[in-house]
Amino acid sequence: MDFQFSDEQIQVRDMVRNFAEREVAPHIQEWDSKGEYHPEVLYKMGTEGILGLPIPERYGGGGFDYVSFALACEELEAVDTFLRVVMSVHVGLNSLTLHQWGTEEQKKRWLVPQAKGEKLATFGLTEPGAGSDAGNIQSRAVLQGDHYVLNGEKMWISLANTADHFLVFATLDPSKKHHGLVALVLERGMDGLTTGSLHGKLGVRAGDTGWLNFNNVKVPVANRIGEEGEGFKIAMSAIDQGRFTVGAGAVGLIRASLDASLKYCHEREAFGQEIGKFELVQQMIAKMVAGYESSRLLILQAAALKNQGIRNTRETSLAKWVACDHAFNAANDAIEIHGAYGYSSEYPVERYMRNSRGAVIYEGTREVHQLVQGGYALGYRVDRPLRCPQPPAQAWEKETAGA
């Protein structure tokens, strides 16, 4: 593994960093405290090419590799989690899934405008009664001629009130559990599709989180991704991509907590010296440094595998679990270092703490990832080949072609 970033990767990192610091950083404390959502930021991300970074150029994207994608997620979440969430649902869960499983016609219809940022997309798997237990999905799709009739509800959906395209999952036969799922693309404006917002969230208050409701929605068979019964495999491959973005973003949150703490350690004095001089404070700083470096290395390991199109479920699960736990701990220690000020919105660390908690839950709770890692180590869990394996990053294809 090459630990030196290429000029192209550095350019992507710097471009995304400049965007986030220019467009969001000056306003995020106010937006978060008021619970204000500003969708215009998402369209600016599209204009900058951020929403299509890892999508091949032939489908309207930037054709960048997964290391570039990880660096982009890190920079976005270093400013605020709601920015990385967009990368998770629009790019990771939806667009990259279309790239892996969609037909050429479907890619031209949905992936191209998504990669260009002309249309926003999201992902609907979680339901009021089904989270980690995806095989217990209650949304029902019934085939009637050339279309499915869809009924049900999805909950905790990012971009629910903003997205134009929805990749959702429903059961064809509840008795078959995860073997009976189907993946369907819905478009805003379809009769019977309604969306709404959720309020009162602990974190990611500047983001759009809501619900989807399906009341006899007619979905053409042409909108089915993959085959009937492949929905669970498609969902899990999508979550591999989503977990990667969550873990990469958590690296940015660790860095933000560390940077804020370093700054405060030099500003604040107690007993006649900077608080950074105290050994227990240095201990907390050291843990943040260790968490940042180890989490970043795990993400880069997963990125290297993704660049080659190699199955990386185990590596991505480990990276997501470790990075999110470190982000939560780093934010907690940052509040401790800031003392009473860390408990107020005068400093950003209380926002980091609130935002960090969600990532420990979504895209697989820490307990789920512990079971995943234990299963692999014991040999109980073995990856089977997928009909549509993950394509390698376009940048990797370019290098191979020129070798």
User: 101 Cβ partners below 8 Å, 6+ apart?
Assistant: 183, 225, 226, 230, 234, 237, 388
* 3-class DSSP state of 284: helix
DSSP annotation of 127:
B
Give whole-number Cα distances, 67 to 53, 253, 294, in Å.
11, 17, 16
- How far is C-alpha 298 from the geometric centre of its chain's CA atoms? 16
CA distance 349 to 355: 10
Say if residues 25 and 348 touch (Cβ distance below 8 Å).
no
CA distance 217 to 166: 13
Identify the residue whose tokens are 């004095």. Answer: 269
For β-strands 165-171 and 121-124, DSSP reports them as: parallel
Find the DSSP H helices in 129-230. none
User: Residue 54 belongs to what H/E stretch?
Assistant: none
Strands (E), 13-146: 121-124, 140-144
Q: Which residues are known catalytic residues?
A: 363
User: 234 Cβ partners below 8 Å, 6+ apart?
Assistant: 97, 101, 169, 183, 225, 226
Quickly count: other Cβ atoms within 10 Å of residue 120's Cβ.
Answer: 24
Give whole-number Cα distances, 161 to 24, 96, 152, 166, 210, in Å.
20, 21, 17, 11, 7
Residues listed for the chain: 403
